[in-house]
């Protein structure tokens, strides 16, 4: 294993000079720099991460806590995680992957041990038990998601309240009066996940303002669960003509079931989805949807974190404005009988 000292010797300079060449924290003459860089290349030198972390108390690692749950739509999480990893690398950081399993202990462990310089938390609940810990430490962190109290926190998230409102407005403009919301699995609401509750709030508020009737039904994944939910919806509100779906795994079953019920999309019923663009465009009907900007959220989270680590940036709540794209799954409400 090649060390700094060996590089220094090979280049005929002192160890500190090599260090300064590497970090650029002091000016180095062009000739020396070149000689050092040459030696580094020749010897195949890589700075030792542990030693560097010890001496500088900087690990250049960002911890990312992803949920372990199986009741969430995983691809979105994965997409965010990958975006975070890519963005972090661009700033010279690596990603430490923590699963939700350990819960708050993971936060303690990571901040306590200096394993990571900062944290990104996903799958935030409204009253998340990890938040007090984050507030109590000086380690920078960013949440992807929005808890109830954002005091002293930096959050990045899609504006799900506005998303809900936007979906309702779209359907209202098309003349729909009875709207059903096919939501995430019940467990997601039971643990008060921020995004789910906020969307619901946006939906309900706007529906009330526009004097629409709104039915919300959580829905497990799987064809049968969707079938049961849909049957219940048409049973309780036969006049339902508008659907808002915030549950990617329910989308394709729903479209299939609507066909089976003899309801044409978009002539008889309209469907608006909250899902990644890819899902919306690859479904059996090209879906009118509000995009879930996974990449952007991941990127923004990293940018804010890096800003904090560099002493720039402050606590801030970044809500990305939702954008609704009209595709083939929504149209004017059918004339009332």
Q: Which residues contact DNA by CB under 7 A?
A: 1, 3-5, 12-17, 19-20, 22-23, 25-29, 31-33, 45, 47-48, 51-52, 54-57
Nearest residue (CB) to its own copies, 29 versus 57 = 57
Q: Is 262 helix (H, G, I), strand (E, B) or coil?
A: coil
Which of 210, 256, 307, 324 touches its own copies by CB under 8 A? 256
- Kindly tell me the sign of the dihedral angle through the C-alpha atoms of 164, 167, 168, 169: positive
State the SS3 of 127-161: CCCCHHHHHHCCCCEEEECCCCCCCCCCEEEECHH
Q: Comparing C-alpha atoms, which of 271, 298, 296, 299 is closest to residue 286?
A: 271
Number of residues that bind its own copies (CB under 8 A): 55
Nearest residue (CB) to its own copies, 122 versus 203 = 122
State the binding partner of 328 from its own copies, DNA, none, CB within 5 to 8 A by kind: none
Q: Return the structure tokens found at 171.
A: 């359907």
Give the end-to-end CA distance of the chain in Å, rounded to a whole number.
81
Using the rule CB under 8 A, is 92 a contact of its own copies?
no
Helices (H) and strands (E) in the chain, counts: 14, 12
β-bridge mates for residue 243, sequence order: 180, 271
Q: Comparing C-alpha atoms, which of 226, 241, 205, 253 is closest to residue 330?
A: 241
Using the rule CB under 8 A, is 89 a contact of its own copies?
yes
Is it true that the peptide bond before 332 is cis, omega within 30 degrees of 0? no
User: Of the ranges 74-82, 164-172, 298-306, 328-336, which one interacts with its own copies (CB under 8 A)?
Assistant: 74-82
Q: Report the nearest approach of its own copies to the CB of residue 303 (Å).
A: 17
User: Of the ranges 5-13, 51-59, 183-191, 326-334, which one interacts with its own copies (CB under 8 A)?
Assistant: 51-59
Nearest residue (CB) to DNA, 3 versus 86 = 3
The helix (H) or strand (E) run that includes residue 40 is: helix 30-43
Which of 4, 7, 36, 95 touches its own copies by CB under 8 A? 95
Rg (CA), the chain: 25
Q: Report the nearest approach of its own copies to the CB of residue 74 (Å).
A: 5
Using the rule CB under 8 A, is 325 a contact of its own copies?
no
What's 70's DSSP letter? S
Using the rule CB under 8 A, is 228 a contact of its own copies?
no
State the binding partner of 17 from DNA, its own copies, none, CB within 5 to 8 A by kind: DNA
Using the rule CB under 8 A, is 104 a contact of its own copies?
no
Is it true that the peptide bond before 113 is cis, omega within 30 degrees of 0? no
State the binding partner of 312 from DNA, its own copies, none, CB within 5 to 8 A by kind: none
Nearest residue (CB) to its own copies, 98 versus 214 = 98
Q: What is the DSSP string of 158-207?
A: E-HHHHHHHHHHHHHHTT--EEEEE-S-HHHHHTTBHHHHHHHHHHHHHH
CA–CA separation, 272 and 244 (whole Å)? 5
State the binding partner of 66 from its own copies, DNA, none, CB within 5 to 8 A by kind: its own copies
State the binding partner of 19 from DNA, its own copies, none, CB within 5 to 8 A by kind: DNA
Q: Report the nearest approach of its own copies to the CB of residue 123 (Å).
A: 13
Binding site for its own copies (CB under 8 A): 1, 44-54, 57, 59, 61, 64, 66, 68, 70, 74-75, 77-79, 81-82, 85-86, 89, 94-99, 101-102, 108-109, 112-115, 221-223, 249, 252-253, 256, 278, 281-284
């Amino acid at each position: 294993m090649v060390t700094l000292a060996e590089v220094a010797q090979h280049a005929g300079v002192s160890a500190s000079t090599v260090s300064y060449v590497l970090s650029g924290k002091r000016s180095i003459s062009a000739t020396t720099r070149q000689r050092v860089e040459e030696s580094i290349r020749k010897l195949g030198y890589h700075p030792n991460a542990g030693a560097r972390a010890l001496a500088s108390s900087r690990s250049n690692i960002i911890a990312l806590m992803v949920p372990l749950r199986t009741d969430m739509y995983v691809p979105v999480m994965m997409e965010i995680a990958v975006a975070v990893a890519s963005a972090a690398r661009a700033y010279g950081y690596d990603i430490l992957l923590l699963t939700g399993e350990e819960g708050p202990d993971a936060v303690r462990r990571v901040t306590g041990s200096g394993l990571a310089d900062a944290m990104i938390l996903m799958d935030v609940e409204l009253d998340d038990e990890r938040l007090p810990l984050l507030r109590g430490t000086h380690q920078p962190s960013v949440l992807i998601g929005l808890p109830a109290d954002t005091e002293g926190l930096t959050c990045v998230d899609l504006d799900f309240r506005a998303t809900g409102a936007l979906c309702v407005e779209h359907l209202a403009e098309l003349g729909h009066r009875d709207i059903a919301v096919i939501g995430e699995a019940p467990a997601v609401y039971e643990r008060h996940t921020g995004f789910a509750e906020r969307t619901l709030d946006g939906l309900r508020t706007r529906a009330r303002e526009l004097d629409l009737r709104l039915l919300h039904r959580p829905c497990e994944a799987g064809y049968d669960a969707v079938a049961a939910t849909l049957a219940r919806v048409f049973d309780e509100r036969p006049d339902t003509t508008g659907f808002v779906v915030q549950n990617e795994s329910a989308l394709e079953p729903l479209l299939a079931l609507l066909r089976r019920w003899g309801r044409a999309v978009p002539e008889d019923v309209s469907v608006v989805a909250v899902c990644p663009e890819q899902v919306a465009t690859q479904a059996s009907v090209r879906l009118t949807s509000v995009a879930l900007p996974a990449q952007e959220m991941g990127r923004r989270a990293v940018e804010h974190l890096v800003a904090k680590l560099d002493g720039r940036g402050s606590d801030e709540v970044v809500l990305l404005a939702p954008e609704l794209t009209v595709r083939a799954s929504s149209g004017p409400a059918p004339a009332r009988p």
